[in-house]
Amino acid sequence: MIRLTKPAPPAVLTTRGAAATRANKAKYKTDRAAYRAGTKRFQFDRDIFAHPTVRTALRAAQHEKCAFCEWRISPGNTYSDVEHYRPKSGFKQRRGDPLTRPGYYWLAYDWDNLFLCCQLCNRAFKRNLFPIDAKGVRARSHFKSVGAEQPLLLHPCQDDPAKHLTFNGAVAVAVNQSVRGTVTIDVVGLNRPFIKEERIRRRVWLVDLCEARSDIRRQLAQQSSPHLLAALARLDRVIATAVADDAEFAAMARVTVF
């Protein structure tokens, strides 16, 4: 997981999305008790929050990777979802809790709340989880501010994941026992077997490159060689691409290189 920067929101969110948000706020205002009890539920328009322009913008901003696990999401990959950081329909503080309704209905079309995620992060792990710190105050409606919540799940744009997450080999671990790092690893399944195996393969390749580079540097320390200098430059370029924002598992790569 690396820090992301988004462009301006797609027009569909600021037009149709804004209108749908106003309508949902009005519905809640007229019958709060029913929405709290779950006898009334909001209907959300996937054609707005998952509009092709939204998916395209997210894919570009996220370097064609899942916002959480950094697994590659190609343009034709159907195993990805437009995910709501704060769940739109209902939420859970812990995995075994009952679903509390409504969710963050007023953020269903909010650009800051939308990310492109692989379906394993979204459907198998995160789902409706959105834990907040015990000192936080949950925003239960659009009349309250989310600013007081103190979410435990890292936000890919508003937080710097590197302050909370690092790697021990290919295993994601919390920096200095960071609670937010620990919770994020659990909520989105950053150490699930498949993704860990993918990181292991990536790491083995990267360590081999770094060892080859170290060998060349040792040889160059003994005697200069145009051939070795050219080989070193090539390795430098390859390793640089492995830690770039658009590289798969860049966060792990950045703590692996030497």
Same domain, 121 and 209: no
pLDDT in tens, 29-55: 999 999 999 999 999 999 999 999 999
Same domain, 120 and 134: yes
Tokens of 171: 């295993």
Low-confidence residues of the chain: pLDDT under 50: none
pTM: 0.94
The predicted structure's pLDDT at residue 77: 61
Helices and strands, number each (H, E), in the chain: 10, 4
CA 215 and chain centroid, separation:
36
The predicted structure's pLDDT at residue 79: 86
Q: What are the DSSP calls for 10-29, one per residue?
A: PHHIIIIIHHHHHHHHHHHH
- Strand (E) positions, the chain? 80-84, 114-118, 165-168, 171-174
Tokens of 123: 């459907």
For residue 248, the enclosing domain spans: 193-255
Please identify, among 141, 166, 188, the residue that sits at the C-terminal boundary of a domain.
188
The predicted structure's pLDDT at residue 27: 98
Please identify, among 148, 164, 188, the residue that sits at the C-terminal boundary of a domain.
188
How distant, in Å, are the alpha carbons of 25, 124, 151, 203, 231 from that of 165?
A: 36, 21, 16, 17, 33
- Closest C-alpha to 105, from 119, 115, 91, 116: 91
Please identify, among 188, 212, 234, the residue that sits at the C-terminal boundary of a domain.
188
Q: Say how far apart CA 171 and CA 168 lie, in whole Å.
A: 5
The predicted structure's pLDDT at residue 74: 78
Residue at 153 is within a domain: yes
The 8-class DSSP code of residue 113 comes to G
Same domain, 198 and 113: no
